[in-house]
């Protein structure tokens, strides 16, 4: 028979303090930004449901009038593209809430927990559902012919989506446990940040919808459908890995040498002219940057370990015995 575990005794004063503990004040602007992150994530999920609802009515995504503007229809030709734009807004809110809290002195454990809860919706559940929606939409448009001829490819995509959401939850919980408020500047992360992983998935979905709408590079759009679930699985595992990543927002907002503005000016025309392609390349570079840094660090540690071993061998060598005459 299992015995109940006895908890440590609590003094009456501590018990009274716990009962009286209430959250009385919060930082309004950081909290509103965090709630904006959460609401935009929920809106993205709703747009995924609209996309699947249209498929149930046998209406193609290209035929759905999502906006009453030709420019907006070009930028977001389907409800799935609108969900991507919703998460772009969520990304902006997520990048600003912590910075605003630090600038206004409104940092708190409440804000930290709120941020993780919002990120679980916007960067855990929403990207997984967007990926699942896109793949199953394409299978429907192909007349039920799944990629690689694997009949359960749609079900496999759903399972990968569940793994992705689970890894995002594990990554956020680990971050809350291992990171204190003293490290609020977050110059770096252990494991791929959930917004970075979500941005990677969104960039590929956005590029796919653009290619599908324009009718060019159809083979590339089909290839994205084939590989997207496996790419999502890869970034999901990177979220719970020990691979180091930089904090992108801190890297952009911190003071840098004057010469660094030139590459940024050169990238801006590419973002304006080829938005989807450029952002996809940027997302790939960010995901691979952590792996490259991790590989270089491992190689340096290996080289340093070899040198230390060689040096220790020389030092432990027994000195020559001098004969006494």
Q: What CATH number did the domain enclosing 70 receive?
A: 1.20.120
Q: Is 184 exposed, middle or buried (0-12, 13-18, 19+ CB in 10 A)?
A: middle
The domain total for the chain is 2
Tell me, yes or no, whether 207 and 271 share the same domain.
Answer: no
- The span from the CA of 37 to the CA of 308, in Å, is 49
Indicate the average pLDDT of the chain: 81
pLDDT-derived band at 3 (thresholds 50, 70, 90) equals: low
> What does DSSP assign to residue 104?
H
Same domain, 209 and 272: no
Q: Hey, how many other C-beta atoms are within 10 angstroms of the C-beta on 179?
A: 14
Alpha helices in 240-274 (DSSP H): 248-253, 261-273
Query: What confidence score (pLDDT) does residue 321 get?
Result: 47
Q: Which residues contact 253 (CB under 8 A, 6 or more apart)?
A: 99
Same domain, 227 and 111: yes
Q: Is residue 137's pLDDT more than 80? A: yes
Structure tokens at 302: 């290996």
Any domain includes 57: yes
Identify the CA nearest to 245 among candidates 195, 315, 211, 281.
195
Domain shared by 212 and 127, yes or no? yes
Query: What's the rounded mean pLDDT across residues 13-24?
Result: 63
Segment among 23-32, 162-171, 189-198 with least mean pLDDT? 23-32
Q: Is residue 9 part of a domain?
A: no
pLDDT digits (tens, 9 = 90+) for 106-115: 788 888 889 9
Does a structural domain hold residue 184? no
Contact 154, 133 (CB under 8 A): no
What pLDDT band is residue 156 in, cutting at 50, 70 and 90?
very high
Structure tokens at 205: 């979905």
In terms of Cα–Cα distance, which of 93, 233, 109, 80 is closest to 166? 233
Do both 122 and 254 map to the same domain? no
Task: Give the pLDDT of residue 20.
Answer: 60
Higher pLDDT, 25 or 233: 233
Measured from the Cβ of residue 212, the count of other Cβ atoms closer than 10 Å reads: 25
Domain assignment present for residue 324? The answer is no
> 152 and 86 in one domain?
yes
Which SS3 state, helix, strand or coil, does residue 194 take?
Answer: helix
Cβ–Cβ < 8 Å for 165, 128: yes
Q: How many CB atoms lie within 10 A of CB 73?
A: 17
Examine residue 141 and state whether it is found in any structural domain, yes or no: yes
| Beta carbons of 60 and 141 less than 8 angstroms apart | yes
Residues 228 and 95 in one domain: yes
159 and 63 in a common domain: yes
Residue 17 lies in a domain: no
274's tokens: 């080829």
Residues 166 and 287 in one domain: no
pTM of the predicted protein model? 0.81
Torsion of Cα atoms, 33 then 37 then 38 then 42, to 10°: 140
**How far apart are alpha carbons 272 and 287 in whole angstroms?**
22
On whether both 281 and 294 belong to a single domain, the answer is yes
Shared domain check, 143 and 41: yes
**Residue 113 forms part of a structural domain:** yes
The parent domain of residue 125 ranges over 27-178+200-241
Asked if residue 80 belongs to a domain, the reply is: yes
End residue of a domain, out of 217, 241, 265: 241
The reply to whether 102 and 225 lie within a common domain is yes
């Amino acid at each position: 028979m299992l015995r109940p575990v006895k908890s440590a005794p609590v003094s009456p004063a501590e018990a009274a303090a716990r009962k009286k503990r209430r959250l009385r004040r919060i930082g309004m602007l950081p909290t509103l930004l965090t709630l904006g992150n959460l609401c935009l994530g929920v809106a993205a999920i709703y747009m995924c449901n609209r996309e699947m609802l249209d498929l149930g009515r046998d209406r193609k995504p290209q035929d759905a009038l999502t906006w009453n503007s030709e420019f907006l229809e070009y930028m977001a030709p389907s409800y799935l593209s609108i969900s991507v734009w919703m998460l772009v807004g969520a990304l902006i809110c997520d990048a600003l809430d912590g910075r605003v809290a630090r600038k206004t002195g409104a940092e708190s454990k409440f804000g930290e927990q709120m941020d993780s809860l919002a990120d679980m919706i916007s960067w855990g559940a929403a990207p997984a559902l967007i990926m699942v929606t896109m793949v199953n939409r394409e299978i429907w448009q192909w007349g039920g012919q799944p990629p690689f001829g694997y009949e359960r490819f749609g079900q496999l995509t759903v399972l990968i989506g569940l793994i992705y959401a689970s890894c995002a939850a594990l990554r956020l919980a680990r971050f809350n446990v291992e990171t204190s408020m003293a490290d609020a500047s977050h110059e770096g992360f252990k494991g791929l940040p959930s917004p970075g992983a979500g941005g990677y998935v969104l960039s590929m979905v956005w590029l796919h919808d653009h290619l599908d709408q324009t009718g060019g590079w159809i083979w590339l759009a089909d290839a994205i459908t084939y590989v997207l679930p496996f790419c999502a699985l890869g970034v999901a595992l990177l979220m719970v890995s020990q691979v180091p990543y930089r904090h992108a927002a801190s890297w952009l907002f911190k003071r840098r040498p004057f010469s660094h503005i030139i590459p940024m000016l050169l990238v801006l025309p590419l973002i304006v002219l080829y938005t989807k392609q450029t952002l996809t390349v940027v997302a790939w570079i960010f995901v691979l940057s952590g792996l490259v840094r991790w590989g270089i660090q491992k190689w340096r540690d290996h080289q340093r370990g070899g040198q230390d071993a060689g040096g220790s061998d020389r030092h432990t060598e027994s000195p020559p015995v001098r004969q006494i005459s």
